[in-house]
Amino acid sequence: MPDLPQITAIMDAILLPLMGSVALVFAKMTQGEAARWAEKQFFAALVVITIVTVRTVIMCDETWLLHTATLATMIVGALVVPGYDSSLAT
């Protein structure tokens, strides 16, 4: 059975990238007032992922590549992926 440091390392490697991906999807798929709230949540997740990525790189943690890829995906996804356009919905 894994101990507490192993469980937190697994959660760090799984939950943070998942949280960032979900925040990006919600920020791109919502509209109106919900879109403003989703964008605020996305920026908060972006700040958290950035801080965690810097920490993992400084500490030479084994999940540094995963966190760096997540951060890059969030930044590129925010700039490249088009947002939801309600005029295109049928």
Place of tokens 């403003």: 36
**Do the beta carbons of residue 63 and residue 9 sit within 8 Å?**
yes
Distance (Å, whole) CA 50 – CA 5: 22
pTM of the model: 0.79
Measured distance CA(64)–CA(35) in Å, rounded: 30
Give pLDDT, residue 45. Answer: 93
| Residues of the chain where predicted confidence (pLDDT) is lower than 50 | none
Spatial neighbors of 77 by CB under 8 A, at least 6 apart, are: 24, 28
